[in-house]
Amino acid sequence: MSHGAGVKVISILGEDYSIKAPAGEEQTLMDAAMMLKAALADTKRKYPTLIGDRLLVLAAMNLCSQQIEMKKQHQQELERYQEQVSATVETIAKTIQG
């Protein structure tokens, strides 16, 4: 019963990981691996002496920080949008009540 779910071998810091992707999620898995590798390379450039777990943890922290920042920005945009919608609705309500 292995239809749909592809096992991908992903190499991170010289270690191979066999990861089973849910059907249709193979591309997401590969993108995630590429993103992690990019974060690792970036972290390694900034902190050349870091190896193994320490490098992995710092890279992961970096990715999490970026994620939090993006969420904050998204939240602010959402709030601005909601304010605009509320203002529009109020204007319409006044017109209707006229």
Identity of the residue numbered 76: Q
Q: What is the pTM of this model?
A: 0.69
The 3-state DSSP class for residue 8 equals strand
d(CA 50, CA 16) in angstroms, rounded, equals 20
H/E segment holding residue 9: strand 7-12
Task: Check if the beta carbon of residue 55 is closer than 8 Å to that of residue 40.
Answer: yes
Q: Which amino acid is at 90?
A: E
What would the pLDDT profile of 48-60 be if each residue is shown by its tens digit?
A: 999 999 999 999 9
Q: How many CB atoms lie within 10 A of CB 19?
A: 14
Note the pLDDT tens digit of each residue in 41-98: 999 999 999 999 999 999 999 999 999 999 999 999 999 999 999 999 999 999 998 7
